[in-house]
Amino acid sequence: MSSRPDIPIRHSLFATRPLVFITHPVFRKPGFGRHHPLSTGRQAAVLDLCEALGWLAPELVRTAPLADRALLERFHAAHYLDALEEACRTMTASPAVRERYRLGTMECPLFEGLWDRACASVGGAVLAARTALSGAVGFHPAGGTHHGRPDRASGFCYFNDPVFAILTLLDGGVERLLYVDLDAHHGDGVQDAFAGDRRVSFFSVHEDGRWPGTGGLDDRLAGRACNVPVPRGVTDAEYMLLIERLLVPRMRSFRPEAVVVTLGADALAGDPLSAMQLGNGTLWAATELCVAGAGAAVVLGGGGYNPWTTARLWAGMWALLSGQPIPPVLPERAQAVLGALTCDIVDDEDRDPSWCTTIADPQRHRESVTVRQQIHDIVARLLPDRA
């Protein structure tokens, strides 16, 4: 494994583990076009919110390098990279390119800065994994493009940066790696990439029936995958029961040396592209459990199409990882960051005023909420597959 980089140690929930926040100037720029679900400026909002709260000490921030062709070709096909580079250069995609590579479509549009943005997502994931090998927690909220395929774009994802984080950790000597996907959509691209690698185990909680339609209860990869498709309206109580009954035993039995978490924000209540009903404290707790359970940890972003809840989730995650207090009410400068956000697919009447005044969602009394029988049935189906 590589030598330990010069990363300051912070007192946090994880004692003296060093922390690194990875970003790149390209993530402050607009992307995806005007009406795309990812055109909301959520990455810039995370940075602005953390800066407004004094959470981004310069010594904790690293700039993601842009991945080069040699790195990208470890997973992505050269002919796909050629097509993407040419499409980015000309800002056009022929009908054949749209059909073969899914480029220039409503799902995966072409826009200025696309190539650098995609390369920075991969470079940031690799940097996060390298720092994790040295004992740091690598936090890369602009990562999590878990649908990317070797030979095409898919699900708003042009490359697959979690794959590169995992490859880097395996290159560093990790023999037991757990990939945990908390996004509302199943991380099909990551699971398929390592389906034949026994060093990698998968755990995913995602909404049943959502695109891409993979990750069913019986999708287990001979015990190496635990896919947990949850019903619409899943609550904090139900979610934490699944984490406690399924993920915790899996971590104890597998004893991962490294963990990569895709912390999608689309599982939160208020997201327009899912019907899950979680508060951000539940996703923070699940992520903290993962990070505390492995010597090397990478936390990536993922989906999230409500810019207010997404920025709050990832900014708050950084605060918890780095041991910085989350104020009950945001100062004016931080409120201004959230107040300036817009989103065409979240109706005005559905916007909770607290999204602009707080970071943490209200605490809910999980023990007082009835857990549906369907959740107990999921646990019963998957408990024999804990190994």
DSSP string, 71-98: HHTTTS-HHHHHHHHHHHHHT---HHHH
Which of 54-58, 199-203, 365-369 is predicted with the least confidence, judged by mean pLDDT?
365-369
* 123 located within any domain: yes
Q: Report whether pLDDT(5) > 70.
A: no
How confident is the model at residue 11, as a pLDDT? 37
CA dihedral 132, 290, 199, 194 (to 10 degrees): -90
pLDDT in tens, 276-300: 999 999 999 999 999 999 999 999 9
How confident is the model at residue 99, as a pLDDT? 98
Q: Which of 343, 139, 317 is nearest to 352 (CA)?
A: 343
pLDDT in tens, 27-63: 999 999 988 999 999 999 999 999 999 999 999 999 9
* 187 located within any domain: yes
* 336 located within any domain: yes
* 251 located within any domain: yes
* 104 located within any domain: no
Q: Report whether pLDDT(369) > 80.
A: no
Q: Report whether pLDDT(22) > 60.
A: yes
Buried/exposed code over 236-267 (b: 16+ C-beta within 10 A; e: otherwise): bbbbbbbbebbbeebbeebebbbbbbbbbbbb
* 206 located within any domain: yes
pLDDT in tens, 205-242: 999 999 999 999 999 999 999 999 999 999 999 999 99
CATH value at residue 180:
3.40.800.20
Mean pLDDT computed over 303-313: 98
Q: Report whether pLDDT(72) > 90.
A: yes
Could you tell me the pLDDT band of residue 387, with boundaries at 50, 70 and 90?
Answer: very low
* Residue 147 appears among annotated catalytic residues: yes
Mean pLDDT computed over every residue of the chain: 93
For residue 244, give the amino acid letter: E
pTM higher than the cut 0.85? yes
Q: Find out whether 319 and 281 touch, Cβ atoms under 8 Å.
A: no
* 138 located within any domain: yes
pLDDT in tens, 331-351: 999 999 999 999 999 999 999
How confident is the model at residue 34, as a pLDDT? 86
Catalytic residue among 24, 76, 146, 147: 147
Domain span at 305 = 19-66+113-385
Q: Report whether pLDDT(7) > 50.
A: no
- Maximum distance among all Cα pairs of the chain, rounded to whole angstroms: 57
Residue with the two structure tokens 């073969």: 100
In the chain, the number of structural domains is 1
Q: Report whether pLDDT(24) > 80.
A: yes
